[in-house]
Amino acid sequence: MLGECGMKEWERRVLRKNSVTILQDLVVDDLLIQCLQQDGILTENMAETIMAKPTSQGKSRHLLFLLPKRGPQAFSSFCAALTATEQQHLSRLLMDFTEKDKSFSEPSLSRPTQECVIPVKRARTHESMEMCLDADSPVTTAVVPCMPEFFQSHRSQAYPMRSCPRGLALVLSNVRFDSANTDLDVRRGGEVDEETLRRLFMELDFTVSLHKDLTAVAMRRCLEQFAQRQEHAEYDCTVVCLLSHGVEGSVYGTDGQLLELDWVFEVFDNARCPLLQNKPKMFFIQACRGEEMDNGVDQLDGQERTQSPGCEQRDAGREGERDDKEREEKDRERLRVKLPQRSDMICGFATLKGTAAMRNTKKGSWFIQELNTTIRQRANDTHLADILVQVNGQIKSREGYAPGSAHHRCKEMSEFTSSLCKDLYLFPKYYPNN
């Protein structure tokens, strides 16, 4: 029965010929699956089976296995779902290929339109304080995969990155605040940031949890529960993203209460989170760290200033030679098993201490935009510290675009701190054990 009412032969051929590109670029998320369910292409059981696959390629592969058997509308519904989930490059690829590949007479398919009843774009409007500051923003592209040769040549100096999934990722995003208890504005554009990060880390094969609009107490509870998840023992790293209003050293809950960042880092330190000992822990903080607006300065002609050379000296005095071999052996043993209280962390901040972060109310925050673009383009051959240096460079070159307002030509400068002890390569889409 399914064979008689399945996908047309030329549509099957189009999917087969483009399967490599689809498997590499396709993001199978809840919205895409729901669109296909709305059209009757997937059953609930099929949807659960697809989403249970541990990797993005596993989800894509199982979906492509099912589609040809799901009726004559499966191809057009799949293209429509791609458009609805902002994967138009894949939809265009299939539709353009269709015109070349149809070699016999069949009714031509019109270009699909968004017919999914689920809202695919959240409201993104202007607000008074954070205006639409730029005229343009980076275009999202698929994550560039790591090549096996690169993995083999760089794995020795890098953190182990073999697990599938890579790790757990937590995104806490506060957009709307309790107007009865605080005068904090709606963070318009924050919805764009949370979706950008969710899709990015899904493509990097993280298991992503997104929690929205939490009080400070709820944020603490969520972070503590996340840090104690047993899956950390099996995975190679973790990611925590905090998106909210903020001040130096803290971010706001929706109730106007503050969550201290030092407390957040403490939750994931070597004492309180032993399952993540010696594993890289990534933090990304999109929040203001003060109220000062960076209006920038004019760059003067001439050579740039360079740092004066310095000499490195030990901060501690030289220890005397020890003759007691037994004590020396005990000291080595103690050094081998003890860890600092906090290590193997890297944290990217949207802005410098004391200054405000810039957010485009339509396209999202400057920092999240640049982080997303740079990771997608460079994670295949660049470790995270260098990626954040490149993000700094992109942020440095941006200017606010709001003629006639105080925000026109305003600036921002991101920064990061690191206690990483090895190179942190994500080696996207490469699994040596497969």
For 316-349, how does the pLDDT look when each residue is reduced to its tens digit (9 = 90+)? 333 344 445 566 565 555 555 688 999 999 999 9
Domain-embedded: residue 2: no
Q: Is the pLDDT at 169 greater than 60, yes or no?
A: yes
pLDDT at residue 39 is higher than 50:
yes
Convert the pLDDT of each residue in 378-414 to its tens digit: 999 999 999 999 999 999 998 877 776 666 778 899 9
In a domain, 328, yes or no: no
Provide the pLDDT confidence category of residue 142 given band limits of 50, 70 and 90.
Answer: confident
In the chain, % of residues over pLDDT 70: 78
Cβ-contact 138, 178 below 8 angstroms: no
Q: Are residues 404 and 348 in the same domain?
A: yes
- What pLDDT was estimated at residue 421? 96
**Final residue belonging to a domain, choices 101, 117, 135:** 101
Residue 129, pLDDT above cutoff 70: no
Given a contact cutoff of 8 angstroms between Cβ atoms, the answer to whether 243 and 174 are in contact is yes
H/E element, 58:
helix 56-66
387, 378 Cβ separation under 8 angstroms: yes
- Of the candidates 245, 347, 383, 407, the residue annotated as catalytic is 245
Which three-class secondary structure state does DSSP give residue 206?
strand
154 catalytically annotated: no
Query: Both 89 and 15 in a single domain?
Result: yes
Are residues 408 and 274 part of one domain?
A: yes
Do 34 and 169 lie in a common domain?
Answer: no
Structure tokens given for 114: 């968004």
- Establish if 80 belongs to a structural domain: yes
In a domain, 84, yes or no: yes
Q: Which of 63, 85, 101 is the last residue of a domain?
A: 101
Higher pLDDT, 424 or 28: 424
Q: Is 4 exposed, middle or buried (0-12, 13-18, 19+ CB in 10 A)?
A: exposed
Nearest to 197 by CA among 293, 102, 282: 282
Report residue 90 as tokens.
């894949």
Cβ 143 vs Cβ 205: under 8 Å: no
- Is 255 found in the same domain as 152? yes
Query: CATH number for the domain including 345?
Result: 3.40.50.1460
Domain boundary among the residues 70, 101, 132 is at 101
What is the reported pLDDT for 234? Answer: 96
Residue 162 sits in the same domain as residue 230: yes
The active-site residue, picked from 132, 288, 347, 410, is 288
261: Cβ contacts below 8 Å, ≥ 6 apart:
242, 249, 250, 251, 285
On whether residue 192 sits in a domain, the answer given is yes
Q: What type of residue is 89?
A: H
Q: Which of 151, 85, 76, 68 is nearest to 106 (CA)?
A: 76
Return the pLDDT at 222: 97
Q: Is the domain of 54 the same as that of 186?
A: no
409 or 259, greater pLDDT: 259
The answer to whether 390 touches 374, Cβ cutoff 8 Å, is: yes
| Same-domain pairing of 367 and 235 | yes
My answer on whether 199 and 87 are in the same domain is: no
Distance of CA 265 to the CA centre of its chain: 19
Residue with tokens 């353009």: 96
At residue 408, the pLDDT reads: 73
Residue 126, pLDDT > 70, answer no
Tally of domains within the chain: 2
Cα separation, 393 vs 370, in Å, equals 10
Same domain assignment for residues 258 and 162: yes
383 assigned to active site: no
Asked whether residue 159 falls in the same domain as residue 18, the answer is no
Start-to-end CA span in the chain (Å)? 36
One domain for residues 89 and 163: no
Residue 374 dihedral angles phi and psi, to the nearest 5°: -70, -40
**302 inside domain:** no
Looking up residue 80, the CATH number of its domain turns out to be 1.10.533.10
Is 406 inside a domain boundary?
A: yes
Which strands, in side-by-side order, build the sheet including 206-212?
A: 206-212, 167-173, 237-243, 281-286, 345-349, 415-418
Reply yes or no on whether the pLDDT at 304 is more than 60.
no
Q: Which domain holds residue 71?
A: 9-101
Asked if the structure places residue 330 within a domain, the reply is no
